[in-house]
Structure 1
Amino acid sequence: MAHEELPFDFELLCELTETNGVPGYEDRIRDIVRRELTDEVDTIESDGMGNLVATVEGTGDQHVVVAAHMDEIGFMVRHVTDDGYLKLDALGGWDARVLKAQRVTVHTDDEDLTGVIGSPPPHTLDESDRDGDDTVDDVYVDLGRDGDEVADLVSIGDFVTTQQSTTLMGDHVTGKALDNRVSVFALIEAARRLDSPTATIHLAATVQEEVGLRGAQALGVDIDADVAYGLDTTVANDGPNFSKEDRVTALGDGAGIKLKDSSAITNPTVHRRLTALAEKREIPHQPEILPAGGTDTAGLQFAGGATPAGAISFPTRYLHTVTESIHVEDIEAVIDLLVAALETEDGSTDYRL
């Protein structure tokens, strides 16, 4: 499939995923979201943590918030050795096994520097090295410079991201930071497609989700919504070496409608309404029960009091790697279901249990 054939703005999705922003340092992503949403919404504001909220005023009294986090997993420089190697502190959940021989970007105050995560050649490893458990503490970044030059260029606290382009691979989009830039992208696409909603819609691009849902928790206090939706990626263990019951979701089977994850149990009325909408509009969909992992849904659900909450998810293979992959039809299905949910929120649904 060529990107010209896609029903959504693939170039914008690439820009969002290839641009870098770790928890607490989402500035570059926030600038793109503000640029894209300013002309699509009635107001747009940011807060002291960096959450960005774009509001489409409705004709009724209902208020709805949709949250998608801007941050990606990454690192912060915690030490620079005398020889010029960087030691890292993880920002978010990394499986250190996937980091060997990765190219990274070190973001300093003055410039972005390319580095590589060192990996010794297999010829030099003994049996105990091959069987060892890798941790982020073992990782180092080589900048190809001597110690004095690195000391002048890099400071403790500079952030580090992996380097990867986003591309089409058959019917899949693959790259880094699809978790969760694909959801930020969906917020933008939804704003473009919404037309005179009854409810006032707050489209929230949140911060610091990967380190504890922090932005959404703060936002849940600031916005008094009648219903909240989280928007995020979810596990698709639909490849080899997984049993069918461990799949969670499967690529190409449609939008995930969350029932639960380890941080939230969604409101039954919300997820039943989403399912009924998907069936009525013939939007491909699948139920999602995620055994481990949380989303901004939980941050919104009770931060400011009891709020009915649900979530729509993008089935994603290889989460928290640089080769995350999502089916193009699932991207469109999530956007379609999100727009359907927002344009039909009119205050007539009683979410109390």
Structure 2
Amino acid sequence: MDESLLRNLTESFAPTGNEKIIFPIIESALKGYVDEIKIHERSNSLMALKKGNGNFALMLEAHVDEVFMVVSSIEKNGFLKVTSRSIDPKILPGSQVIVHGKKKIKGVIGIKPYHLVKEGEENLTYDFNRLFVDTGLSENELKDLVSVGDYVSFAPSFDKIGNYLVNKSFDNRLGVYVLIETARVLKNIKHDVNVYFLFSSQEEYTGLGAITATFSVFPNASVVLDVTFGTQYKVTPFDGFELGKGPTIFYGISVNRELTNKLASVADKYGIPYQKEVGVLSSTDADKVGLVRSGIPTSLLSIPIRYMHTPVEMFDPFDVDKTVQLLKLFIGEFEPTEDRNGEY
């Protein structure tokens, strides 16, 4: 695994609606491995193409955006109140954050000291009303640098714990990493299909990037890359998937069964480990891509991670490497059922 690239991807900040911040890193990593790169301006997504020998189009998609908070008010004594629709406030006390104002400002999320908690308050839920960001700056200093609505992100904390890597925003920079690595391994491989790489925006809220950019490409088929829940303490195999056992292949009504079976058959043929994830809707961009235009046959590959939407998301590099290997082999054997080239 290219840990340097992954560190760059995850330590960068690209919240929903402001994904362009990370595009230079992606473009630099793709340089020399694809034939075209362009920005889909209407959706704020990045698109790349590696040409094949035929007139068929396979799109690989991963969303770029990460979860975030926003400043909701500037309080007396320089404390900030924040809110979010995608982060559980119970995990926030003690977290280090970055406030993205006129400049980046470090902060910590604080709570009332336990020693001062009054009787009857012990079991109150930690919600955003009880939390605050402490930047160490005064109220006047903050008002010069920060405005209501400014983004607040988890501070990067890239580290290795045992066999696993830990940091913020592995959801879904792992998918972004897989797309980049797939483009790299395809450089010297002949393939018939034209491969489109879509780094899409706004998955965490609307799926806008996946919908509008896919409409432009109109591929024969698509494979969406995302993350799923890994097993951990109190998360059983009924709700999650083991780290180190390969990616998951999703089976449900929102994905194409024939394409999904083909993905699994390639994995079986070459002995690539994978796990089966079963559901109705996947709650990923795969649900959106399949509905575009007259319908796009779509499959979903996911990498199990622990502690999703926290600053300490955790995964096993083995699962990522096997995902790249599976995509490379799948692309080499891809046989579309209709003759249609992709387009921007």
Q: Aligning the two structures, in what range does the TM-score lie when normalised by the shorter sequence?
A: over 0.9
- From 248, 256, 263, the equivalent of 2:248 is 256
- From 259, 264, 272, the equivalent of 2:261 is 272
| Matched residue, 1:4 | none
Cα distance between partner residues in 2 of 1:96 and 1:88: 10
Percent same amino acid among aligned pairs? 29
23 and 154 in structure 1: CA distance in 2 versus 1, 3 angstrom threshold:
same
| Matched residue, 1:59 | 53
**Does 1:228 find its partner at 2:222?**
yes
SS in 1 for 2:179: helix
Query: Counterpart amino acid of 1:95?
Result: D
| Matched residue, 1:168 | 160
| Matched residue, 1:208 | 202
Map 1:1-353 → 2, pairs under 5 A: 8-48=1-41, 49-90=43-84, 92-109=85-102, 111-194=103-186, 195-236=189-230, 238-247=231-240, 249-260=241-252, 265-289=254-278, 294-347=283-336
28 and 225 in structure 1: CA distance in 2 versus 1, 3 angstrom threshold:
same
Query: Counterpart amino acid of 1:10?
Result: E
Cα distance between partner residues in 2 of 1:132 and 1:188: 45
| TM superposition score normalised by structure 1 | 0.90
Q: Unpaired runs of 5+ in structure 1?
A: 1-7
Query: Counterpart amino acid of 2:60?
Result: V
Cα distance between partner residues in 1 of 2:66 and 2:299: 22
Query: Counterpart amino acid of 1:55?
Result: L
Contact 2:250 2:282 in 1 (8 A): no
Cα distance between partner residues in 2 of 1:293 and 1:95: 20
Structure 1 residue 187: Cα displacement: 0.7
Contact 1:234 1:290 in 2 (8 A): no
Cα distance between partner residues in 2 of 1:219 and 1:97: 35
Contact 1:51 1:205 in 2 (8 A): yes
Structure 1 residue 105: Cα displacement: 0.3
Q: Unpaired runs of 5+ in structure 2?
A: 340-344
Query: How many residues in Structure 1 have an aligned counterpart in Structure 2?
Result: 336
| Matched residue, 2:342 | none
17 and 341 in structure 1: CA distance in 2 versus 1, 3 angstrom threshold:
same
| TM superposition score normalised by structure 2 | 0.92
67 and 137 in structure 1: CA distance in 2 versus 1, 3 angstrom threshold:
farther
Contact 2:71 2:150 in 1 (8 A): yes
Contact 1:220 1:299 in 2 (8 A): no
243 and 162 in structure 1: CA distance in 2 versus 1, 3 angstrom threshold:
closer
| Matched residue, 1:5 | none
Cα distance between partner residues in 1 of 2:105 and 2:82: 15
Provide Cα deviations, 1:156-182, integer angstroms capped at 9, x if missing partner. Answer: 222110113212222111111100001
Cα distance between partner residues in 1 of 2:154 and 2:280: 27
| Matched residue, 1:3 | none
Contact 2:223 2:299 in 1 (8 A): yes
SS in 2 for 1:241: coil
Q: Relative to structure 2, which stretch is displaced further, 30-39 or 306-315?
A: 30-39
Query: Counterpart amino acid of 2:215?
Result: V
Provide Cα deviations, 1:169-204, integer angstroms capped at 9, x if missing partner. Answer: 221111111000011011110000112321111101
231 and 137 in structure 1: CA distance in 2 versus 1, 3 angstrom threshold:
farther
Contact 1:62 1:345 in 2 (8 A): no
167 and 124 in structure 1: CA distance in 2 versus 1, 3 angstrom threshold:
same
Structure 1 residue 106: Cα displacement: 0.7
150 and 291 in structure 1: CA distance in 2 versus 1, 3 angstrom threshold:
farther
Q: Relative to structure 2, which stretch is displaced further, 122-131 or 69-78?
A: 122-131
Kindly report the root-mean-square deviation, in angstroms, between the aligned alpha carbons of the 2 structures: 1.9
Contact 1:254 1:329 in 2 (8 A): yes
Structure 1 residue 126: Cα displacement: 2.7
Runs of 4+ residues over 6 Å off in structure 1: none
SS in 2 for 1:136: coil
97 and 318 in structure 1: CA distance in 2 versus 1, 3 angstrom threshold:
same
Query: Counterpart amino acid of 2:44?
Result: G
SS in 2 for 1:71: coil
Contact 2:254 2:281 in 1 (8 A): no
124 and 22 in structure 1: CA distance in 2 versus 1, 3 angstrom threshold:
same
Query: Counterpart amino acid of 1:162?
Result: F
